């Protein structure tokens, strides 16, 4: 029995499963208190891009710590935030002219939903319904849960959640059903916005759909003046092979959510980028019309310094080449295992690779296979956190050839063992 008072997320403490203690990290490796190390094959929940303790990002945080640690951001500003906003304007779609800071992926989604609802409210239009895709996940705050899949993640909190319009996941061969459902919901006239995870649904099981589908959903929304929110919290910063997943579909959203890799995964920070029209809808001499959202740590200077360093890395280092190389290696390993072992639905998108283990148990997040697999991988020096019977690999871009081989060798063993 642990003597710790810590209540961990997504952890059933009643099972008394071991909780390893990490002392330090570098690159793709986590070094544990017992002297061993594990390869972080999921980027510590999809956040670490350039590797743990990237020297440039760590130096930027240390330098900022001697200047300004925290300050109110309502009606005040500081250099690191201005630098990040300007750098985002250079690298992100031109029409996304406004940058609103928050603290996490969930809050970036909350901000996006409030921006969309505020836009229509101040237009005097009766549009308040949010449209979502089934199996999606957008976070664990109330609004983010409301627009995500209903089920085990949020069942106890159902009384808090608001109603949404749902479209089916565009499974291969069933894309038209998705288009038809979206068209019908848009035609109803009360839709404020559609929020989607572009090209791949993360916590929903690493479900992949093609760029053409994303483009058609965007076209339908535009035809009915329904705002399009791209939740690129997980898919952004090169995970799908491009800076943004939306790029592959030629799609520019009205509102864009970014977090996780925004600071290279070093410290929490998020932004919600919006078009000028959405900003202008809140612009007035009437103080009651301002955008009412903030937190104490909005645009924290230390976090912004980390984000500025990350953006400099993207400008000055061959990050895209590293992503292309890692994506190729991931696809090669998936193909190599597929020629030897038997598993279901192998898929890859950029640096993300996933497969489904054949299991006689029910599929889903609470499949008992997942904790057994986690323990199996941990014994082999690999941190993987399967989604039910879905095993996925989403490593830092700094992972070495040998480290990636160790990850995939462990997966090969698991295919034979479970």
- For the segment 12-70, what is each residue's pLDDT rounded down to a tens digit? 999 999 999 999 999 999 999 999 999 999 999 999 999 999 999 999 999 999 999 99
**Scanning the structure block, which residue is given the tokens 């193909």?**
335
d(CA 241, CA 222): 26
DSSP string, 193-206: EEEE-SSEETTTT-
3-state secondary structure of 332: helix
Provide the pLDDT for residue 114.
Answer: 98
* pLDDT score for 368: 86
Per-residue pLDDT, averaged over 167-191, amounts to 98
Structure tokens at 345: 């639905």
The mean pLDDT value for 383-401 works out to 97
Q: What percent of the chain has pLDDT over 70?
A: 99
Residues forming a β-bridge with 196: 230
Tell me the percentage of the chain whose pLDDT exceeds 90: 95
In this predicted model, what pLDDT tens digit does every residue of 299-315 receive, in sequence order?
999 999 999 999 999 99
Q: Looking at residues 228-237, what average pLDDT do you find?
A: 98
pLDDT recorded at residue 363: 65
- Pairing outcome for strands 22-26 and 390-393: unpaired
Rg (CA), the chain: 21
Report the run of H or E that residue 185 belongs to, with start and end. helix 175-187
Give the per-residue pLDDT at 79.
98
Cα angle: 205, vertex 206, 208; to 5 degrees: 125
Taking the CA atoms of 169, 170, 174 and 175 in sequence, report the sign of the dihedral they define. Answer: positive
Look at residue 139 in the predicted model and tell me its pLDDT.
96
**Nearby residues of 128 by Cβ (< 8 Å), 6 or more positions away:** 117, 120, 190, 192
Delineate the domains of the chain, giving CATH numbers in brackets. 13-54+318-417 (3.90.1150.10), 57-316 (3.40.640.10)
pLDDT at 364: 73
CA-nearest of 342, 362, 361, 329 to 412 is 342
Residue 360 above 70 pLDDT? no
Q: Mean pLDDT score of the chain, rounded to an integer?
A: 96
The confidence score (pLDDT) of residue 361 equals: 63
CA distance 296 to 103: 10
Confidence of residue 3 (pLDDT cuts 50, 70, 90): confident
Per-residue pLDDT, 358: 83
Residue 365: is its pLDDT beyond 80?
no
Concatenate the DSSP letters of all residues of 394-409 into one string: ---TT--HHHHHHHHH
Task: Express each pLDDT in 116-166 by its tens digit.
Answer: 999 999 999 999 999 999 999 999 999 999 999 998 889 999 999 999 999
Write down the pTM of the prediction.
0.97
Q: What is the token pair recorded at 99? A: 């940058």
Burial class (CB in 10 A: 0-12, 13-18, 19+), 93: middle
Q: How confident is the model at residue 362 (pLDDT cuts 50, 70, 90)?
A: low
Least confident of 74-78, 191-195, 338-342: 338-342
pLDDT value for 170: 98
Residue 2 pLDDT > 70: no
Q: CB within 8 A of 85, min separation 6: which ones?
A: 99
Asked if 131 and 193 touch (Cβ cutoff 8 Å), the reply is yes
pLDDT per residue as tens digits for the range 264-290: 999 999 999 999 999 999 999 999 999
């Amino acid at each position: 029995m642990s003597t710790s008072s810590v209540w961990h997320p997504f952890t059933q403490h009643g099972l008394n499963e071991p909780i390893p203690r990490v002392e330090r990290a570098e690159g793709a490796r986590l070094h544990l208190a017992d002297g061993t190390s594990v390869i972080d094959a999921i980027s510590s929940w999809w956040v670490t891009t350039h590797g743990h303790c990237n020297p440039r990002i760590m130096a930027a945080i240390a330098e900022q710590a001697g200047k300004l640690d925290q300050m109110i951001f309502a009606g005040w500003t500081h250099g690191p935030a201005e630098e990040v906003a300007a750098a985002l304007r250079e690298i992100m779609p031109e029409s996304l002219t406004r940058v609103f800071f928050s603290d996490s992926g969930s809050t970036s989604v909350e901000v996006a939903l409030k921006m969309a609802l505020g836009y229509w409210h101040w237009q005097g239009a009766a549009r308040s319904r949010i449209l979502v895709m089934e199996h999606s996940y957008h976070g664990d705050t109330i609004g983010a849960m409301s627009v995500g899949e209903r089920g085990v993640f949020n069942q106890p909190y159902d009384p808090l959640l608001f109603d949404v319009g749902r479209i089916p996941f565009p499974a291969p061969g069933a894309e038209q059903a998705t288009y038809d459902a979206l068209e019908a919901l848009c035609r109803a006239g009360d839709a404020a916005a559609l929020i989607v995870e572009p090209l791949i649904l993360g916590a929903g099981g690493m479900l992949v759909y093609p760029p053409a589908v994303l483009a058609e959903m965007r076209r339908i929304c535009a035809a009915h003046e329904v705002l399009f929110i791209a939740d690129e919290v997980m898919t952004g910063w090169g995970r799908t092979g491009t800076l943004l997943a939306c790029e592959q579909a030629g799609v520019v959203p009205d509102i864009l959510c970014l977090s996780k890799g925004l600071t290279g995964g070093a410290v929490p920070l998020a932004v919600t980028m919006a078009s000028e029209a959405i900003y202008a809808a809140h612009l007035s001499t009437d103080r009651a019309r301002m955008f009412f959202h903030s937190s104490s740590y909005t645009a924290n200077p230390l976090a912004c310094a980390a984000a500025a360093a990350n953006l400099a890395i993207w400008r000055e280092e061959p990050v895209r080449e590293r992503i292309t190389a890692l994506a190729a290696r991931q696809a090669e390993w998936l193909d190599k295992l597929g020629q030897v072992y038997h598993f279901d639905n192998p898929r890859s998108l950029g640096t993300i690779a996933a497969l489904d283990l054949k299991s006689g148990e029910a599929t889903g997040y609470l499949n008992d296979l997942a904790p057994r697999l986690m323990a199996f991988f941990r014994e082999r020096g690999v941190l993987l956190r399967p989604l039910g019977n879905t095993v996925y690999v989403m490593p830092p871009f700094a992972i070495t050839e040998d480290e990636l081989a160790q990850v995939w060798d462990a997966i090969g063993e698991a295919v034979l063992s479970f």
